[in-house]
Structure 1
Amino acid sequence: MLPATDVILRLAAAAVLGSLIGIERERLSWAAGLRTHMLVCVGSSLIMLVSAYGFSGILQSDKVVLDPSRMAAQVVSGIGFLGAGSILLRGEIIRGLTTAASLWTVAAIGLAVGGGMYVAAVAGTSIVLLILAGMKPLERRYFADKHKRGITFLVQADTFNIGHLHQLMGASAARASKFVVRREADGGVFDEVSIVLSHTSEKEFHRIVQGFLKLDGVKSFDYTDL
């Protein structure tokens, strides 16, 4: 059995490493943030400790043989329920896949710490942070054209249709993967227009937005990256 100080050290190290990744997710206001990642990392580390050392007292008999990886293996598959809970479907867009992957990876980091593999755990944490925080600016810069961007605005009823879309956007209208005009639910005098643009660069998107902002009869306007 491990000394108590070693057990405490491993659990504390798991909490610290899990918090580093949790802070990055918390910064983006995801539901699975700091505390969730810390708990997953500490919990998986504790399970690894129990799996590897918790049954040492009954291994004195030659007739008892245990596999120290049996409980750790259940963490790898069992953590999926937490990951599934962090994935949300918002309209046609799926969000939370990266957070689900970070939870799964944090569980692996916890198992590594519980097994005493500190170098692997620290290296894994560093690489995960590099992927989550360091790669995002590069992703936005080099893959921005593949992002979908949404435009939503209220306009005077019966004053905007697909013809106006082509007039306003010209050749860029071909990038509209979604165009919906709905009358306000209370039967008001405004139509809600929703447009989703695919494969549109940031520069082109802002040019299009400026064109929409000049429309007459617009009550409210909003745009976002999807």
Structure 2
Amino acid sequence: MEVARVLRLDLLIKLSLAVFLGGIIGFERELSGKPAGLRTNILICLGAALLMDVSNRIGLVDGQRIGDPARIAAQVVSGVGFLGAGTIMQGQGVVTGLTSAATIWVVAAIGLTVGGGFYIEALGAGLLVTFVLAALGRLEIYVRRLRRRVTATIRTRTGTPPDELETALRAHGLVIENQRVFDHPEDRTFELKLAGPSRQFDVAAGELMRRDFILGVSFD
């Protein structure tokens, strides 16, 4: 009876900690307006902790380990991958949902850690994840303001090799993320998706127009 009471108390502690850690991470996601918010993260963390605890108990008979508790944990990791994949979307060359997918994965990992009885490790990981999502998210926004993505249309002389244009752009810190080339009788036109420091686009445009093989440059 005493053993059963201790086991029930241990399980209650695990589930409560899983709800708390999933909740603080989910609260941040909810504030950010993400689809995988408060309830989703709590349920994932709670479910992972419960399955890990059950896995540990199933593998014990009279105090002796007869099974591998990692088997159920491995299935949790595989299963949560499908949930994460459902949050990733792609449209018009833009991929969204990667952070939400990563959050789902790490919340499941925290739940498994709680279920395994590693409370301090789980608490530390939960606080770190919350810090990364909340604080570094603002830093990411600041970095994006320093770096732009634009569509460029560049007309060159017929037969201009793409490598020559890429070299000229890289000299100003601009990276070609995607390109299409159209050959016409009078010129060759490049439609480029460029990324780079905001201040460099105007500088690059002026520099390109001084090149003999460039006929026109426009940024959208």
TM-score where L is the length of structure 2:
0.65
CA distance in 1, matches of 2:150, 2:20: 37
Alpha-carbon displacement from aligned partner over 1:110-157 (angstroms, at most 9, x marks no partner): 01111111110110011111111111222232353334369xxxxxxx
Q: What is residue 105 of structure 2 aligned with on the other side? A: 104
Question: Do residues 23 (structure 1) and 27 (structure 2) align?
Answer: yes
Q: What is residue 218 of structure 2 aligned with on the other side? A: none
Counterparts in 2 of 1:112 and 1:137: CA distance versus 1, 3 Å = same
Q: Structure with the greater relative contact order (CA < 8 A, sep ≥ 6): 1 or 2?
A: 1
Counterparts in 2 of 1:123 and 1:147: CA distance versus 1, 3 Å = farther
Alpha-carbon displacement from aligned partner over 1:162-220 (angstroms, at most 9, x marks no partner): 99xxxxxxxxxx99989xxxxxxxxxxxxxxxxx7743539x99xxxxxxxxxxxxxxx
Which amino acid in 2 is paired with 1:30? K
Q: What is residue 37 of structure 1 aligned with on the other side? A: 41
Partner of 1:199: helix, strand, or coil?
strand
Q: Note the aligned Cα RMSD (angstroms).
A: 3.6
CA distance in 2, matches of 1:147, 1:114: 44
Q: What is residue 134 of structure 2 aligned with on the other side? A: 133
Q: What is residue 8 of structure 2 aligned with on the other side? A: 4
Q: What is residue 114 of structure 2 aligned with on the other side? A: 113
Which amino acid in 2 is paired with 1:111? L
Q: What is residue 50 of structure 1 aligned with on the other side? A: 54
Alpha-carbon displacement from aligned partner over 1:47-95 (angstroms, at most 9, x marks no partner): 0001001353xx2498x82112211122122210000001111221000
Report if the CA contact (8 A) 2:18-2:49 is conserved. yes
TM-score where L is the length of structure 1:
0.63
Partner of 1:89: helix, strand, or coil?
strand
Runs of 4+ in 1 over 6 A off after TM superposition: 174-178
Which amino acid in 1 is paired with 2:91? R
Q: What is residue 94 of structure 2 aligned with on the other side? A: 93
Counterparts in 2 of 1:132 and 1:149: CA distance versus 1, 3 Å = farther
Equivalent pairs counted in the alignment come to: 173
Counterparts in 2 of 1:176 and 1:73: CA distance versus 1, 3 Å = closer
Alignment identity in percent? 40
Q: What is residue 196 of structure 2 aligned with on the other side? A: 199
CA distance in 2, matches of 1:54, 1:79: 22
Matches within 5 A, 1:171-210: 198-199=195-196, 201=198
Report if the CA contact (8 A) 2:18-2:114 is conserved. yes
Q: What is residue 67 of structure 1 aligned with on the other side? A: 68
Structure 1 stretch 73-82 or stretch 100-109: which is displaced more?
A: 73-82
Partner of 1:121: helix, strand, or coil?
helix
Question: Do residues 76 (structure 1) and 73 (structure 2) align?
Answer: no
Counterparts in 2 of 1:55 and 1:66: CA distance versus 1, 3 Å = closer
Q: What runs of 5+ residues in structure 1 fail to find an aligned partner?
A: 151-160, 164-173, 179-195, 206-226
Counterparts in 2 of 1:109 and 1:162: CA distance versus 1, 3 Å = same
Matches within 5 A, 1:157-176: none
Report if the CA contact (8 A) 1:87-1:100 is conserved. yes
